[in-house]
């Protein structure tokens, strides 16, 4: 199978490329810099370009049987739109090329799902904390899912993990629901990549699937929570410390919507 990977230099994307090549798929990786390509293999082809540029994406997907969108936002600002922009560009490229049978696999998250009625107070507090830290990222994921669901021609599969951990592979579980049954079921990047390759080999069209590791992976504390602490600081800075600056800029700019500081 010919697979195109967007986000091939990220932690999950690198593993998708490695495992797909090991499974004897042919992989095209769209990367900003060919020097940062994750692997060298006769089965790997590199296309330099931007995941948000239509012509670059068309070059990358023109021969693909499936496209894996392994993009992820690096922050949580009001402008966070990495996953939805990448998804939109892929859909536009496939329509432009008339590749309406090409499958699309996208990674989003089930962290933004509201807890079901009757959930424990701890789970509701956990959801509130996650929403504070990642509200814009969750909105980005939700919009990417909406874009896929709105196109009746696309054979998509959405994989919706919870917390991703930099830990060794343990095996994965594809759940029958759009989210893992417990908010305490993380997954490693390698397990998520293995799940993606499994879905490539065993299609699950137009489904949203929760995914987790078989056993709770163990990762160093600083690696697990380094990004969480960075996001908490970013939110405190943007939503509290810089709130007066945002207000003044919105007034000066005529009050039109959200203002981004550069």
Query: Are residues 108 and 229 located together in one domain of the fold?
Result: no
Query: Of all helices (H) and strands (E), which one includes residue 159?
Result: strand 155-161
> What pLDDT is recorded for position 133?
76
Specify whether 177 is located in the same domain as 262. no
pLDDT digits (tens, 9 = 90+) for 134-153: 888 899 999 999 999 999 99
Question: Pick the residue with more confidence: 253 or 112?
Answer: 112
What percent of the chain is helix, strand and coil (3-state, nearest 5)?
A: 45, 20, 40
pLDDT band at 217 (very low <50, low <70, confident <90, very high): low
Q: Are residues 158 and 231 in the same domain?
A: no
Which tens digit of pLDDT belongs to each residue from 29-46? 999 999 888 788 999 999
- 88-120 pLDDT, tens digit per residue, is 999 999 999 999 999 999 999 987 788 777 778
Q: Are residues 86 and 23 in the same domain?
A: yes
Cα 101 versus chain centre, distance: 22
183 and 255 belong to one structural domain: no
The reply to whether 215 and 200 lie within a common domain is yes
Arithmetic mean of pLDDT, 45-68: 98
CA 219 to chain centre: 21
Q: Identify which has the larger pLDDT, 256 or 75.
A: 75
199 and 254, same domain (yes or no)? no
* Mean pLDDT across 169-184: 88
The pLDDT of residue 123 is above 50: yes
Which tops the pLDDT comparison, 251 or 216? 216
The domain containing residue 183 runs over which residues?
2-219
245, pLDDT greater than 90: no
Return the pLDDT at 232: 61
Strand 207-213 versus strand 172-174 pairing type: antiparallel
Q: Is the same domain home to 227 and 173?
A: no
Task: State the average pLDDT over residues 216-245.
Answer: 60
Domain identity same for 212 and 132: yes
Report residue 63's pLDDT band, with 50, 70 and 90 as the boundaries. Answer: very high
pTM: 0.82
Mean pLDDT of the chain: 86
Structure confidence at residue 157 (pLDDT):
98
Residues 240, 167 share a domain: no
Same domain, 166 and 195: yes
In terms of average pLDDT, the best of 21-25, 123-127, 230-234, 237-241 is: 21-25
Q: What is the pLDDT of residue 260?
A: 34
Domains contained in the chain, number: 2
CA nearest neighbour of 45 among 25, 15, 23? 25
Query: Same domain, yes or no, for 191 and 180?
Result: yes
Listed residue (132, 139, 154) closest to 239, CA to CA: 132
CATH number at residue 137: 3.40.50.720
Query: What does the pLDDT average to over 64-83?
Result: 89
Rounded to whole angstroms, how far apart are CA atoms 36 and 47? Answer: 12
Q: Is the pLDDT of residue 205 over 50?
A: yes
Of the CA atoms within 13 Å of residue 113, those in its CB half-sphere come to: 21
């Amino acid at each position: 199978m010919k697979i195109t990977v967007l986000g091939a230099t990220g932690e999950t994307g690198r593993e998708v490329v490695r495992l797909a090549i090991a499974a004897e798929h042919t992989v095209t990786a769209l990367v900003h810099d060919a020097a940062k390509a994750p692997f060298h293999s006769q089965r790997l082809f590199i296309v330099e370009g931007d995941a948000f540029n239509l012509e670059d994406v068309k070059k990358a997907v023109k021969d693909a049987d499936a496209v894996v969108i392994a993009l992820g936002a690096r922050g949580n600002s009001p402008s966070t739109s990495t996953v939805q922009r990448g998804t939109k560009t892929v859909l536009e490229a496939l329509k432009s090329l008339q590749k309406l049978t090409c499958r699309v696999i996208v990674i989003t998250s089930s962290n933004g799902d509201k807890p079901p009625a009757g959930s424990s107070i701890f789970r509701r507090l956990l959801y509130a904390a996650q929403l504070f830290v990642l509200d814009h990222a969750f909105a980005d994921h939700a919009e990417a899912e909406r874009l896929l669901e709105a196109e009746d021609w696309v054979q998509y599969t959405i994989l919706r993990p919870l917390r991703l951990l930099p830990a060794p592979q343990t095996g994965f579980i594809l759940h029958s629901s759009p989210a893992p049954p417990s908010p305490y079921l993380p997954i490693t990047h390698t397990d998520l990549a293995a799940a993606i390759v499994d879905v490539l080999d065993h299609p699950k069209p137009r489904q949203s699937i929760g995914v987790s590791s078989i056993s709770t992976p163990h990762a160093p504390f600083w690696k697990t929570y380094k990004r969480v602490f960075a996001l908490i600081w970013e939110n405190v800075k943007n939503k509290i410390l810089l709130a007066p600056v945002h207000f003044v800029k919105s007034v000066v700019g005529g009050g039109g919507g959200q203002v981004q500081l550069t």
